[in-house]
Amino acid sequence: MAEPVSTTRYRLLGIFAHPDDESFGAGGTLAKYARSGVEVHVCTVTDGAGGTYDPALLEASGCSTLAELRRRELECACRVLGAQLWTLPYRDSGMAGSSDNLHPASLFQAPLDEVVAELVRVIRHVRPHVIITHELSGGYNHPDHVKTSQAVQRAFYAAGEGRSFASLPPHDLPVWQPMRLYHLVVPRSNIRWFALLLWLRGKDPRRFGANRDIDLTRLGVPDRQIHVRLHLREYLEIKRQACACHRSQGGGAMHWPSFLGRRAMVYEHFIQVMPPGARRHHDLFEGLEEVP
């Protein structure tokens, strides 16, 4: 097994579509590395304004908009996780086919080259050795997850090319080539267990989520494709606290109702996308040389 990472010379950047993706999806991973001495950063691409919420909660918060509340929740979560926060200026696009897709400020409407340029700027600032983000399907085909993943994949190499976005302000930012890009994924075996749990509770896994528009039975990646499986039991309480920051999205009621639910939360899974051809390994930084 790889030796645990324990040096501040490593930097990890998580790039996610919405406030709460960093906690619900990769909270254990971010907490683990932040407490292992890695410099951890989170970049959130949209404002989360397309999410569902309780109007009474918004009123009680003193925030004037959902986007303002979700920014506050995101800042809370990043403090808990130990991550430095970066944000991009895009509006939440909502689910595929929703009216939010048509908002001119939405990520859905933004030219892909523009989003790539924004991410290149962040990557050159942070200078991460490892980047994690959504898989290309977005996990459940949310258009913001999909576009974020597409943009990150292009920005990964563009950030290290001198002629790519050379005029991007600030103009004196040196190029930086990250060493690895991982996709955060859910193994198909986990989906099968969770779907079974829902069936046993009388719920239909084909109509999952607040809007009942997610078919869980069609999600997940084959277990054999996964390169890294992180065991995160000792960071589970930190993840729970980070999720609890996102009260508008149900995080305040976060609980682990069953053995299967807790077991699924103990692990987070990744596929190494760049460079391709990796074998299974035990740590996102395993085998990397320390560099400035």
Question: Going by DSSP bridges, is the β-strand pair 267-274/11-16 parallel, antiparallel, or unpaired?
Answer: unpaired
Q: What is the pLDDT of residue 1?
A: 33
Q: What is the pLDDT of residue 3?
A: 42
Tell me the pLDDT band of 8, cut-offs 50, 70 and 90: low
Percent of the chain with pLDDT over 90: 62
Which of 198 and 73 is assigned the larger pLDDT?
Answer: 73
User: Using CA atoms, how far apart are residues 94 and 245, in angstroms rounded to an integer?
Assistant: 21
pLDDT 10s digits, 39-80? 999 999 999 998 788 888 888 888 899 999 999 999 999 999
- Can you tell me the mean pLDDT for 82-101? 94
pLDDT 10s digits, 145-163? 999 999 999 999 999 998 7
- Can you tell me the mean pLDDT for 165-191? 86
Q: What is the pLDDT of residue 69?
A: 94
Q: What is the pLDDT of residue 145?
A: 96
- Nearest alpha carbon to residue 271 among 170, 187, 192: 187
Pick from 73-77, 199-203, 255-259: least confident: 255-259
Q: What is the pLDDT of residue 54?
A: 85
Q: What is the pLDDT of residue 219?
A: 79
Superfamily classification of domain 11-186+223-274:
LmbE-like (3.40.50.10320)
| Ranges in the chain annotated CATH 3.40.50.10320 | 11-186+223-274
